[in-house]
Amino acid sequence: MKKRLTYILLFTLALCTSGCSLETSPSSSIPTDKAFDSPQDVLNGMHGAYNSVGGYQFWGRNVVAIGDMSADVSLASASSGHFVAINGWSINEDNAELRDAWTMGYQTIDRCTRAINGAKELIAHPEENKLSDSDIMNLHNYSAQLYSLRSLSHFTLVNIFSLPYRAGTENSQLGIVLVDEKPVEAFEQVSRATVKQTYDQILKDISSAKEHFEQLSSANKLSISQFYMNEAALYALEARVKLYMQNYEGAASAAEQAIALRASADISNEDYVAMWSSVAINDEDIFTIAKSNADNLSANSLNTLYNSYGGSISQFVKVKFNANDIRLNLISGNHPEKFDGIPSAQAVSNIPVFRKSEMYLIAAESYANLSEIENARAALLYTAKRDSDITGTNDLPDTKEALLSFIEDERIREFFQEGHRMYDLRRTGKAANIGGNSQFIFGNFVYPIPANEINAGFGVVQNPDWHTNLP
């Protein structure tokens, strides 16, 4: 069974010198003691991890599509077969989109772990490994990114396959299988951690990434583009994680740090619309997954899902906009246009994982929950002014409850088609009209672990009674 975790991990990255493919190969073909002989080997491993995280099975499509197609903001076409089961809530334990997200998520985690361990061993013996100061600096750079990617992957999986984190509780509900000091080897027995343990691991990896970033020079940090998990992206991840944990002080602080580190100009309304038809880095980008013609996405792109496969935006989203909102220029009828590609390639669109706008909205929501009303309004204005009728904070709500309601709607206006909605409903515990149930609480529902992972018999247990909480 190709998709089960323990079998997947037979198929780890073939780490090789330059000129080799970064596709996966059986680990038995690589001598363990020779896999990471140099910084170049670790770099190859890091590239393999980015390849996995950006694959259409994970953040390159499925994570994003699950986030919207399962919620109230997007509609799938029954004629296409793609995400129809997710959208129509005819879910079973063999769902291909869920299975592929699980598989590629753990492939990313495995590749990160092996490369992290390789870098750690090299750094521990600099003279024996004939490392220059530049080599050591590079290894800290790669390690920072690898810990960041592993944290992002654990965080993504726990928010699909586990019940949400709830502040003030023990969070003893089943989390996911954690990979920390060593990879999961073939046929190894594993078990699921709790949600608390999972979030502890996520924060631990964020802290480890910070430690490695601290070893870098300013120039080295700035050399990491927005196509990679740079330092600003790490703080953006921390902001999102702590928002999901209802740690509002921590979320606001991390969001502000991400904005400061990104240090980009505020984007104009015109440039905001234009950025979606370009694959160049823009001032909104903090971490975006780069796509190009070479990816040959075709049927597996978000563009295809919302074009030839007939995916559309719901009326629920469209009525959230005022007439003078610039973001309406990204909606044509029922068709959302964020991932309509570039003039030369309609299937090619970058996939934003973290944007500056999200950081402002995290700060706004966090400050509102802390009853810091003026700080919340100031942060909220960054995106709200995309409605030209809103010109200053006086045009925004001035009470905690009204602000939080506005922010919920603003996240719908800002992030339609980008996959945030289901995850927002999970973390807030709000009711929504899902699958014909007008008062469905997404936070009470959890997707099933793929059946072939359970049936493999290596210790992963199913979410109990997951099907009883369907809409």
pLDDT at position 296 is 63
Q: Which domains does the chain have, with CATH numbers?
A: 1-217+441-463 (1.25.40.390), 225-428 (1.25.40.390)
pLDDT at position 344 is 86
pLDDT at position 403 is 98
* pLDDT band of 11, cuts 50, 70, 90: very low
Q: Which residues contact 399 (CB under 8 A, 6 or more apart)?
A: 373
Q: Exposure string (b/e) for 158-196, b if CB count within 10 Å is 16 or more?
A: bbbbbbbbeeeeebebbbbbbbeeebbebeeebebbbbe
What is the rounded average pLDDT of the residues 140-147?
98
* pLDDT band of 34, cuts 50, 70, 90: low
d(CA 3, CA 5): 6
Q: What is the pLDDT of residues 426-447, one digit of tens each?
A: 999 999 999 999 999 999 999 9
Query: Helix, strand, coil shares of the chain as percentages rounded to 5?
Result: 50, 5, 40
What is the rounded average pLDDT of the residues 94-123?
97
* pLDDT band of 15, cuts 50, 70, 90: very low
Q: Count Cβ atoms within 10 A of the Cβ of residue 383 and give its class: 0-12 exposed, 13-18 middle, 19 or more buried.
A: buried
Q: What is the DSSP letter of 27?
A: G
For the cut 70, the answer to whether the pLDDT of residue 74 exceeds it is yes
pLDDT at position 345 is 86
Higher pLDDT residue, 346 or 187? 187
Report H helices in 20-132: 39-53, 62-69, 84-88, 96-124
* pLDDT band of 2, cuts 50, 70, 90: very low
pLDDT at position 430 is 95
Q: Which residues contact 139 (CB under 8 A, 6 or more apart)?
A: 39, 42, 119, 122, 123, 131
What is the rounded average pLDDT of the residues 420-429?
98
For the cut 90, the answer to whether the pLDDT of residue 223 exceeds it is yes
The token pair that represents 29 in the structure block: 């073909």
Q: Which long-range contacts (CB under 8 A, 24 or more apart) does 377-384 make?
A: 377/403, 380/406, 380/407, 380/410, 382/266, 382/356, 382/357, 383/357, 383/410, 383/413, 383/414, 384/410
pLDDT at position 21 is 24
What is the rounded average pLDDT of the residues 113-128?
97
What is the rounded average pLDDT of the residues 332-343?
95
Pairing of strands 285-289, 431-434: unpaired
For the chain, what is the mean pLDDT? 92
